[in-house]
Amino acid sequence: MEMIKNGYMIEHGANLRRANLDGTNLRRANLYEANLRDANLKGANLYGANLYRANLRDANLKGANLIGANLNGANLRDANLRDADLIRANFIGANLIGANLNGANLRDANLLGIKIDDGQGNVYECQEDGWHILESK
């Protein structure tokens, strides 16, 4: 189901690069494979949204509600997720290298297969048996 928010078409595969969706209600939106690179989603309600394989590189998601969102395979490289609510969100295979997760609530989130760094050049992947280093400085 398509919808228009702040003048932007919200749909599967939408090109929302640099879109200003600050505080927008995108509850259960279907943004499967959408391009949200550099988008401003600060404080947005993305409860239960489908962001499967979405490009959220450099996106601002500070304080966003992503409870139960599907972020499987999403590119969140260098995204700002500070203070975001990520309870029960699915991140299977997502790229979180360089992402700011300070203050984010990741309770019951599925992090299997995510890639994340430690800010010192080391990249890790979450696997079923724990964290594994992929690249070392």
pLDDT along the chain (137 residues), means of 10: 68 93 95 97 98 98 98 98 98 97 96 92 90 84
The pLDDT of residue 10: 81
Give 132: exposed, middle or buried? Use CB within 10 Å, 0-12, 13-18, 19+.
exposed
Q: Which CATH architecture has domain 1-137?
A: 3 Solenoid (2.160)
Could you give the 3-state DSSP secondary structure of residue 5?
A: strand
User: Which of 58, 48, 52 lies closest to 17 in space, CA to CA?
Assistant: 58
The pLDDT of residue 9: 74
The pLDDT of residue 2: 56
The pLDDT of residue 135: 82
Rg (CA), the chain: 14
